């Protein structure tokens, strides 16, 4: 895997508000990978705060994202990442040669209660686990398929 930002691979998760899906994905990858992977998240139109239902859903699995703050997507964040995973933000993510781009079409948890966010949280975990397995295996970025990595 290319290591454009240093010694370890880096992943950027992007959704519209950086308040739900991308925050949960970043938290899962950080939790599962530890310091093996550099993790970022951002939004094309960041919200004022992280979705309280996403915070509650992650707390149920022992991951605290209550201190996270939505961040704006920048070209630098994409440029510095080896893998860019979008989640419903369309074409707002800048495209740079040599990067791996994935799109995970996940339900948007905005405005939903924790009961509705749990399945999204669990789907994100499965996708993150599959992505991490590929990163750990050192699968070259140019040979990896787009889309639902590891989903059946």
The residues annotated as belonging to the active site are 15, 89, 93
Read off the tokens for 108: 């948007």
Reported as type and span, the H/E element at residue 126 is helix 114-137
Q: Is 3 helix (H, G, I), strand (E, B) or coil?
A: coil
Within 13 Å and on the Cβ side, how many CA atoms surround 41?
A: 24
Handedness of CA 28, 95, 72, 103 (dihedral sign): negative
The DSSP bridge partners found for residue 58 are none
């Amino acid at each position: 895997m290319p290591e454009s930002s240093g010694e370890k691979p880096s992943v950027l998760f992007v959704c519209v508000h950086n308040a739900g899906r991308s925050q949960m994905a970043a938290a899962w990858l950080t939790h599962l990978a530890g310091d093996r992977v550099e993790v970022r998240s951002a939004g094309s139109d960041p919200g004022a705060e992280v979705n309280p239902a996403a915070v509650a859903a992650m707390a149920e699995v022992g991951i605290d994202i209550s201190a996270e703050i939505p961040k704006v997507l920048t070209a630098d964040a994409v440029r510095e990442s080896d893998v860019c995973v979008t989640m419903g933000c369309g074409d707002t993510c800048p495209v740079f040669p040599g990067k791996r781009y994935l799109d995970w079409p996940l339900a948007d948890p905005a405005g939903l209660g924790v009961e509705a966010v749990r399945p999204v949280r669990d789907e994100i975990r499965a996708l993150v686990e599959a992505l991490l397995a590929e990163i750990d295996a050192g699968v070259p970025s140019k040979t990896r398929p787009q889309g639902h990595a590891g989903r059946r």
